[in-house]
Amino acid sequence: MEDLVCPLAVLPTAGGDGEGGGSGSECVSMAALDLRAELDSLLLQLLGDLEELEGKRAVLNTRVEEGWLSLAKARYAMGTKSVGPLQYASHMEPQVCLQASEAQEGLQKFKVVRSGVHAPEDVGPREGALRRRKGPTKTPEPQSSDAPRDPLNWFGILVPHSLRQAQASFRDGLQLAADIASLQNRIDWGRSQLRGLQEKLKQLEPGAA
């Protein structure tokens, strides 16, 4: 009975004796070609992720700079003592939360979500019950919302537009920071996979770089 030859276990010999040596060399060459194709695809993806990471970091820096500049304009318009820690609420509640989920290949993906947001189906039945209890002609009383208070109200009701611009810039920065963290995880995973493929290629082709 002829022995079964594993394609990845056969290495090309210097002499290449007979059909067995030639067939083994061809199997190794095909496996090496497949690895090189996978390596090229992964490398292209990694380069694309690095380019995207660089772009998001540049946008994040721009948003942070815009936020601080708008905040400085607001302090100039309202007065230095009108925009500062003295106006902070004694009890603060976060407006956004960081949500982590597991994406493909077991990678963690981060997303910024607003806190205190209720689904429409959670509000509908309660509103209908109020209408049945009070009658169809009466408008139901507004329910107290669990949504956190807008921090802009700490500084007054009519705040300058520059203060709202600062808030919008920092909010965009939060989402960008979450995107950058997710992208960095994917890049780290890609580098690890790239090193593993390079080691496999070196085993098949000892002279491969």
Nearest by Cα to 66 from 171, 169, 172: 169
Contacts of 38 (CB under 8 A, 6+ apart): 197
- Residue ranges per domain, the chain? 36-85+93-114+157-208
Confidence of residue 153 (pLDDT cuts 50, 70, 90): confident
**Residue range 3-18, pLDDT digits in tens:** 433 433 333 444 444 4
Per-residue pLDDT at 40 exceeds 60: yes
- The more confident residue out of 192 and 118 is 192
Confidence of residue 198 (pLDDT cuts 50, 70, 90): confident
Tell me the pairing of strands 96-102 and 108-114: antiparallel
Q: What pLDDT sits at residue 33?
A: 82
pLDDT above 90 covers what percent of the chain? 27
Mean of the per-residue pLDDT values of the chain: 75
**Residue range 61-99, pLDDT digits in tens:** 999 999 999 999 999 988 888 888 888 888 888 888 888
Q: What pLDDT sits at residue 124?
A: 45
Q: Is the pTM of this model over 0.85?
A: no
The whole-angstrom distance between residue 4's C-alpha and the CA centroid of its chain comes to 47
Helix, strand or coil, per DSSP, at residue 113 = strand
Nearest by Cα to 82 from 91, 71, 68: 71
First to last CA, the chain: 39
**Residue range 106-120, pLDDT digits in tens:** 788 888 888 765 434
Q: What pLDDT sits at residue 15?
A: 43
Q: What pLDDT sits at residue 102?
A: 81
Q: What pLDDT sits at residue 146?
A: 56
